[in-house]
Amino acid sequence: MNALSKDEFFYGHKACAGCGGSLAVRIALKALGERSIAVLPAGCMSAVGFNFPQLCFGNNAIISTFAGTASMLTGIRAGLKAKGIEDVQTVGFAGDGGTADIGLQALSGAIDRNDDILYICYDNEAYMNTGIQKSSLTPFGAKTTTTPAGKNIHGNMRPKKNMFEIAAAHGIPYAATASVGYINDFISKVKKASGIKGTKYIHVIAPCPTGWGISTDETVEIAKEAVDCGTWYLAEFENGEFRLNFRPKEFSDIGEYLKKQSRFRHLTDEDIKIIENSRNAKWEFIDNNFKK
């Protein structure tokens, strides 16, 4: 078990019960400590954490524009350097839409410049703050309020964008995937990233009970199951190499994982077969390209 600070840096906020995103932010800040400056774009965590006069961050924190998480981190880092202020973690927490859609340009720029920042994408697989709309990280088949499931179209018809490998393709010093279902692995990666100079990217699966259609006490369990059934994986990219951190001995039942969530309940056996095939293809790629 990783030793974590008893200090709380994100509390008293208005996140929904069982929120995976707030868990990721809370735990990451405990791992990073009080000399952290957090940037959060418009989105779930800023909406629940910064309601004047109820401000919920115990460390320095600021909301950026929706697209501007990485570019504001860049500016903060540059400002700190100009001021000669050292030993500070600058960390961004952006959702899937804020990262893979509207914020991708700024994130790419920051990685390209190798700015000394840690960017954490808490991925709940849709625009949850505005009421569950599809993002480019919404998985195939998921029902959202903009990808309804009906007779003609069964939810989202596009696969999830591969942000981890997109970040890696920049030649980033460190990138990792994680899940709030494997919290010790997440904590280790945050701590490891905090010791690396340059840009770090961590992509953590953080279920949203409201958007996924699960009970509020199932967040951690379902985040674990995503890894166990193989639709998500725990890996790192470092020194130009991919490394797999964990391989389930045997995948748990993907159909069971999907059917637990109301966003997938409409899927036909055929749809589930497509998801299973795509998982298998991904793992073939992992087995061939990732170190163990």
Residues of this chain that interact with other proteins (CB under 8 A) are 34-35, 37, 39, 46-47, 49-53, 55-65, 67-68, 70-83, 85, 88, 105-106, 108-109, 112-113
CA angle, residues 226, 213, 95, in degrees to nearest 5: 65
Provide the minimum distance between the beta carbon of 52 and other proteins in the complex, in angstroms, as a whole number: 4
Dihedral sign from CA coordinates of 148, 149, 150, 154: positive
**Closer of 81 and 291 to other proteins (Cβ):** 81
Strands (DSSP E) contained in 146-266 are 174-179, 200-205, 235-238, 241-244
Tell the smallest beta-carbon distance from residue 66 to other proteins (Å).
Answer: 8
Comparison of 34 and 284: residue with beta carbon closer to other proteins: 34
User: What is the identity of the amino acid at 218?
Assistant: E
- Bond before 148 cis per omega within 30 degrees: no
Structure-token match 């790192």, residue found: 236
Residues in Cβ contact with 185 at an 8 Å cutoff, skipping those fewer than 6 apart: 178, 179, 234, 245, 246
- Nearest distance in Å: CB 120, other proteins: 17
Please identify, using beta-carbon distances, which residue of 116 and 271 lies nearer to other proteins. 116
Residue 62 vs 220, nearer CB to other proteins: 62
How many residues does the structure list for the chain?
A: 292
Work out how close the CB of 113 gets to other proteins at its nearest, in angstroms, rounded to a whole number.
Answer: 7
Q: Cβ 59 to other proteins, closest distance in Å?
A: 5
Comparing CB distances to other proteins, the nearer of 81 and 259 is: 81
